[in-house]
Amino acid sequence: MLIRHVLPDWVVAAEMDPLMADPSALFPEERAEVARAVPKRAREFAAGRLLARQLFGELGMSSERAIPVAEGRAPLWPAGVVGSISHCHDLCAVALASCARSTGIGIDVEANRLLGRELRDLCLRPDEFGLPQSLWMLLFSAKESVYKALFPTMRQFLDFQDVSIRFEGEGTFRATLWRSAPPFRVGEHFPGRFFVGERHIATSVVLEKGALSPT
Ligand SMILES: CC(C)(COP(=O)(O)OP(=O)(O)OC[C@H]1O[C@@H](n2cnc3c(N)ncnc32)[C@H](O)[C@@H]1OP(=O)(O)O)[C@@H](O)C(=O)NCCC(=O)NCCS
């Protein structure tokens, strides 16, 4: 499983091809969210919800729970759970953990391809322009993971220019926040992991309860 490579073992995770997901299996309030969506979008939305319900079972909770769409399009997880959903054209991944272990999770999966040069100025900060183009997609994905992990706590939009990524050894990166987004501070660091597979890349930011920010 691709996403497993970027998660600690106490985070439960699942993946599927969104083509295999059946939107008619959604709860009525979830189905309403994609009632006017194109079939591809309805299937990817359904894949995230169906995988998350499987994982509720692994966390010892009932699977029979709808997952509404909350503020900022984030999933509204049941009390006691944090998690994240990501999809690309042929893969949907979900990661969940108990709030006893984590205060936020962000994951992102993308096809393993080059990010176009036209997106450089949007996604990279000037201090990141020196990175080779082969790393731009990872950097983009890492910033999306940061955003998803922080959003349920900060509840505000972050621009790609508000976060920088420094790749470190052994599949890890360190994200730095360059704008105040209470309770997160300017200069605060967040630990992340990345993995490069043959067809996909994956990144994650898992905020472990009680862990100190990396310096
Ligand atoms: C939210 C966002 C990150 C989603 O990324 P994406 O590449 O479009 O799509 P992904 O498939 O990886 O992720 C989509 C899932 O993310 C989740 N998501 C959406 N908004 C979210 C938010 N505000 N917080 C946490 N999770 C969110 C949802 O579960 C969604 O799937 P669903 O609609 O089927 O439930 C992106 O649309 C966005 O708004 N980006 C701008 C902000 C940003 O990335 N800033 C970077 C600097 S920190």
Query: Residue 63's domain is classified under what CATH number?
Result: 3.90.470.20
Query: Ligand 1 in contact with 18 (CB < 6 A)?
Result: no
Asked if residue 214 belongs to a domain, the reply is: no
Radius of gyration, alpha carbons of the chain: 17
From residue 138, give the alpha-carbon distance in Å to each of 83, 111, 123, 210: 20, 10, 11, 27
Asked if residue 215 belongs to a domain, the reply is: no
Asked if residue 167 belongs to a domain, the reply is: yes
Query: Ligand 1 in contact with 45 (CB < 6 A)?
Result: yes
Query: Ligand 1 in contact with 75 (CB < 6 A)?
Result: yes
Which residues partner with 12 through β-bridges? 96
Asked if residue 115 belongs to a domain, the reply is: yes
Query: Ligand 1 in contact with 43 (CB < 6 A)?
Result: no
Say how far apart CA 87 and CA 191 lie, in whole Å: 22
Q: Which residues contact 131 (CB under 8 A, 6 or more apart)?
A: 124, 139, 167
- What residues make up the domain containing 155? 3-208
pTM of the entire structure? 0.97
pLDDT in tens, the chain (215 residues): 999 999 999 999 999 999 999 999 999 999 999 999 999 999 999 999 999 999 999 999 999 999 999 989 999 999 999 999 999 999 999 999 999 999 999 999 999 999 999 998 999 999 999 999 999 999 999 999 999 999 999 999 999 999 999 999 899 999 999 999 999 999 999 999 999 999 999 999 999 998 867 66
Number of structural domains, the chain?
1
Q: How many CB atoms lie within 10 A of CB 18?
A: 23
72 C-alpha to center of ligand 1: Å? 9
Q: Which residues contact 36 (CB under 8 A, 6 or more apart)?
A: none
